[in-house]
Amino acid sequence: MATIEEFNLKLKDQQRPLVVDFWAPWCMPCRAMEPTLKRVEQQYEGTVDVWRVNADEAPEVMKALKIYGIPTTAAYRDGQEVARRTGALPQAELEGLFEAALTGEKPLRKGLSANERILRLVAGLLLVAFGWAAGPSWVLLALGGVIIFSGVYDRCPLWQAVAPRVAKLFQGASQ
């Protein structure tokens, strides 16, 4: 699928709902998302097909579909794109894309709204500024840093790669 014509022809012939993963071998967020994508792909095996399009091998497709960042994951139903997300996605959002491909309805956005994100960032920055002005107060600086991180953690590929492993450690310790 190096050309947009090949992509569209294959898409037209597609019988089942489809999720397309646009990736590149050098892309670390793509690599971080791969195991989760494979798990979700297995959940929907037989109902939703998955294509992987290497961005380096299909620049014409990327340009024609206006994909400017990778990883980008798109859901298609009846040859039409119904949803698209860019960035390394957690399992719940990937499942939402697979469901969108099945139903044809846009998935609900999970996570923080833009207003919540801005509020956390501003509050964190104010705490950091106050902590710095107070001498510096390491407690206020740390608290401000935690609040800032809480506003962006869901977009951090490193956090998305580490969080499931940490959760497994705590699950194992509690049993």
83-119 pLDDT per residue, tens: 999 988 888 889 999 999 998 887 766 667 778 889 9
Give the end of a domain, one of 103, 123, 150.
Answer: 103
Query: Can 30 be counted among the known catalytic residues?
Result: yes
User: Does 119 map to a domain?
Assistant: yes
The pLDDT of residue 97 is 93
pLDDT band at 62 (very low <50, low <70, confident <90, very high): very high
In 3D space, the residue among 97, 98, 102 whose CA is nearest the CA of residue 86 turns out to be: 97
Give the end of a domain, one of 81, 103, 125.
Answer: 103
The pLDDT of residue 48 is 94
User: Does 155 map to a domain?
Assistant: yes
99 and 118 together in one domain = no
Cβ neighbours of 135 (radius 10 Å): 8
Name 5's Cβ contacts closer than 8 Å, sequence gap at least 6: none
Catalytic residue (one of 30, 37, 88, 147): 30
pLDDT at 78 over 60: yes
Catalytic residue (one of 27, 75, 94, 127): 27
40 and 95 together in one domain = yes
Q: Which CATH number covers residue 18?
A: 3.40.30.10
28 and 48 together in one domain = yes
43 and 87 together in one domain = yes
94 and 140 together in one domain = no
- The CA distance from 13 to 100, in Å, is 19
User: Does 74 map to a domain?
Assistant: yes
35 and 82 together in one domain = yes
User: Does 108 map to a domain?
Assistant: no
Mean pLDDT value across residues 61-87: 93
Query: Can 156 be counted among the known catalytic residues?
Result: no
User: Does 157 map to a domain?
Assistant: yes
Q: What is the mean pLDDT of the chain?
A: 88
The pLDDT of residue 59 is 94
User: Does 109 map to a domain?
Assistant: no
pLDDT at 66 over 60: yes
The number of distinct structural domains making up the chain is: 2
The pLDDT of residue 175 is 53
Phi, psi of 172 (to 5 degrees): -65, -35
The predicted-structure confidence for 45-59, as pLDDT tens digits, reads as follows 999 999 999 999 999
Q: Which strand ranges, in their side-by-side order, compose the sheet holding 80-86?
A: 49-54, 18-23, 72-77, 80-86
Q: Contact 23/53 with Cβ under 8 angstroms?
A: yes
Strands (E), the chain: 18-23, 49-54, 72-77, 80-86
pLDDT band at 132 (very low <50, low <70, confident <90, very high): very high
Give the end of a domain, one of 103, 126, 143.
Answer: 103
Instruction: Give the pairing of strands 18-23 and 80-86.
Output: unpaired
- The CA distance from 55 to 85, in Å, is 15
The pLDDT of residue 174 is 55
Q: Domain range spanning residue 54? A: 4-103
pLDDT at 30 over 60: yes
pLDDT at 61 over 80: yes
Greatest mean pLDDT range, 96-100, 151-155, 164-168: 96-100
In 3D space, the residue among 101, 102, 110, 61 whose CA is nearest the CA of residue 82 turns out to be: 101
The pLDDT of residue 158 is 75
- The CA distance from 174 to 168, in Å, is 10
pLDDT at 1 over 90: no
- The CA distance from 11 to 14, in Å, is 5
81 and 126 together in one domain = no
Query: Which amino acid is residue 148, in one-letter code?
Result: I
